[in-house]
A and B are shown apart, each in its own frame.
Chain A
Amino acid sequence: MATATITTVRSGKLPWSIASLARSVPISIGLALFVIGVLLVLAAVGQWIWPVSPSAQHLLNVAAPPGSENWLGTDTLGRDVTARIVAGCQSAVIGPFIISASGLVLSSVLGIGAAYLGGAVDTITMRFVDFMLALPGLLIVIVIVSLGGGGYWMAILVLCLFNVQGDIRIVRGAALDQKSLPYIEAARVLGIPRWRIMFRHILPNVSAILVANLAIDFALALVALSGLAFLGLGSQPGAPEWGSMLSDNETILFSNPYGALAPAAAIVLLALSVNLVGDWIYDRYAGRGRFVR
Chain B
Amino acid sequence: MRGRALLFYVGRRLLLLIPVTLLVTIAVFLLASLVPGGVVAVILQGHPTDTAVVEALRQKYHLNDPIYVQYLAWLGNVLHGDLGRSVLTSEPVSYAIMSRLALTVELNAGGLLLALSVGVPLGIIAATKQGRGRDRAVVGVAIFGSSAPHFIVALVILYVFAEKLNLFPLFGTGSDDIGDRLWHMALPIVALAIGPLALITKITRASVLDLIERDHVLFARARGVSELRILVVYVLRNALIPIVTTAGLLLIGLLTGTVFVETIFGLPGLGQLLVSSVKGTDIPMIQGLVLVIGIWVVLANVFIDVVYVLIDPRVGFERAAR
Contact = CB atoms under 8 A, between A and B. Distances in A.
Chain A directly contacts chain B within the complex, with at least one CB pair under 8 Å? yes
A268 B153 CA distance: 10
Contact of B34 (A6, A139, A147, A267): A147
Interface string A138-162: 1110111011100000000000000
Interface residues of A, number: 46
B105 interface: no
Interface stretch (B43-51, B113-121, B143-151): B143-151
Contacts of A288: 206, 209-210
A264 B159 CA distance: 13
Contacts of B281: 146-147
A136 B293 contact: yes
Nearest to A142: B278
Interface string B237-250: 00001100110010
A272 interface: yes
Contacts of B86: none
B252 interface: yes
A187 to B, nearest CB: 27
A198 interface: no
A292 B242 contact: yes
Interface stretch (B75-83, B173-181, B255-263): B255-263
Interface in A258-293: 260, 264, 267-268, 271-272, 275-276, 279, 288-293
Interface residues of B, number: 52
A134 B252 contact: yes
A231 interface: yes
Interface in A126-143: 126, 130-131, 134-140, 142-143
Contact of B152 (A138, A147, A219, A267): A267
B155 interface: yes
Given A136-B252, A147-B31, A227-B260, A268 B147 contact: yes
Given A3-B249, A3-B253, A143 B290 contact: yes
A246 interface: yes
Contacts of A233: 278
A275 B297 contact: no
A292 B246 contact: yes
Given A134-B298, A142-B274, A231-B275, A226 B34 contact: no
B149 A147 contact: no
A233 to B, nearest CB: 8
Given A290-B210, A292-B242, A268 B152 contact: yes
B256 A139 contact: yes
Query: Which of A134, A267, A271 has the largest count of B CB atoms less than 10 A from its CB?
Result: A134
A233 B209 CA distance: 42
Contacts of A230: 151, 260
A143 B207 CA distance: 36
Interface in A90-111: none
Given A142-B274, A142-B278, A227-B149, A3 B256 contact: no
B41 interface: no
Contacts of A12: none
Contact of B147 (A137, A232, A250, A275): A275
B297 A136 contact: yes
B260 A148 contact: no
Query: Which of A264, A271, A290 has the largest count of B CB atoms less than 10 A from its CB?
Result: A290
Given A223-B149, A271-B148, A276 B278 contact: no
Contacts of A211: none
Contacts of B241: 6
A52 interface: no
A6 B152 contact: no
Interface in B195-220: 199, 202-203, 206-207, 209-211
Contacts of A271: 147-149
A4 interface: yes
A143 B259 contact: no
Interface string A5-20: 0100000000000000
Query: Which are the 4 A-B pairs with shortest beta-carbon distances?
Result: A146-B278, A272-B147, A271-B147, A223-B149
Given A148-B31, A250-B155, A267-B152, 9 more contacts: A138-B256, A143-B28, A143-B290, A144-B31, A231-B259, A268-B149, A290-B210, A291-B206, A292-B242
Interface of A: 3-4, 6, 28, 126, 130-131, 134-140, 142-144, 146-148, 219, 223, 226-227, 230-233, 246, 250, 253, 260, 264, 267-268, 271-272, 275-276, 279, 288-293
Interface of B: 20, 24, 28, 31-32, 34-35, 140, 143-144, 146-152, 155-156, 159, 199, 202-203, 206-207, 209-211, 241-242, 245-246, 249, 252-253, 255-256, 259-260, 263, 274-275, 278-279, 281, 286, 290, 293, 297-298, 301, 322
